[in-house]
Amino acid sequence: MNRFFQEEITVAIIAGGKSTRFGSPKALAYLGDKRLIDYALETANNLSSNVVLSVARDHPFQNILNVSFVVDVLHNIGPAGGIYSVLKYSPSPWIAVLPCDMPLLSATIYQYLWQSRRGIKPVVAQSHSGLEPLVSLWNTSIIPSFESMIRQGIFSLHKLIETFDGIIVDLPRIMEAYQPHYFLNVNRKEDLNRIKEILASQE
């Protein structure tokens, strides 16, 4: 399989959320004959051979998925805790962050992010709806600054990206094949039906 990143990058699927609005672990919800996490794994495996699942301590994936887990070292601070934990774990200088609940996300987006890097600044996708912090690249050199922000109680990814002078990649403007549905995410069970309709229209 040709992977854009080869071995240069660790891909982290963020799956540590509580799925409160969904009512059950949404990563394991089926969309057609595949689970949401299966869609995310397919995208991740197209990017790198080094794929990990960022999870909370009490995650539901044990004995279900044949993938490496990175358990949050800091608890109850949201996705920032997952990104920080993967940065601490990563054997590579860059990590690509991927949400577990965007089954239509295109791997090509990460090529645009990769090509937009400058130094060690985070690189973050911007969709037609705004900033997409869970579609992003982070460099391990930022760990000390990340730790400093966490000590100050700053856990918002938007605030972290702003503080680190993150590079914002305006995908609707620069990506020829951009589709708004790339960034459709699943928060509630009814969201699955909307995405099913899009998948059916593509067959």
Structure confidence at residue 202 as a pLDDT band (50, 70, 90)? confident
Buried b (16+ CB within 10 A) or exposed e, 38-71: bbbbebbebbbebbbbbbbeebebeeebebeebb
The stretch 158-180 carries a mean pLDDT of 97
Residue 92 is assigned to a structural domain of this protein: yes
DSSP letter assigned to residue 88: H
Q: Is residue 2 part of a domain?
A: no
Concatenate the DSSP letters of all residues of 128-187 into one string: TTEEEEEEEEEEGGGHHHHHHHHHTT---HHHHHHHTTPEEEEHHHH-TT--GGGG---S
For residue 145, the domain's CATH number is 3.90.550.10
Maximal CA-CA distance, the chain: 49
In a domain, 115, yes or no: yes
* pLDDT band at 19; cut points 50, 70, 90: low
The verdict on residue 1 lying in a domain is no
Rounded CA separation 192/35 (Å)? 11
Residue 6 pLDDT level (bands cut at 50, 70, 90): low
How would you classify the pairing of strands 94-99 and 130-139? Answer: antiparallel
Q: Which domain holds residue 109?
A: 9-201
In a domain, residue 144? The reply is yes
In total, how many domains does the chain have? 1
Query: What pTM was estimated for this model as a whole?
Result: 0.92
In this model, does residue 86 exceed pLDDT 70? yes
Judge whether 68 lies within some domain.
yes
Residue 4 lies in a domain: no
| Confidence label for 18 from pLDDT (cuts 50, 70 and 90) | low
The pLDDT of residue 1 is 41
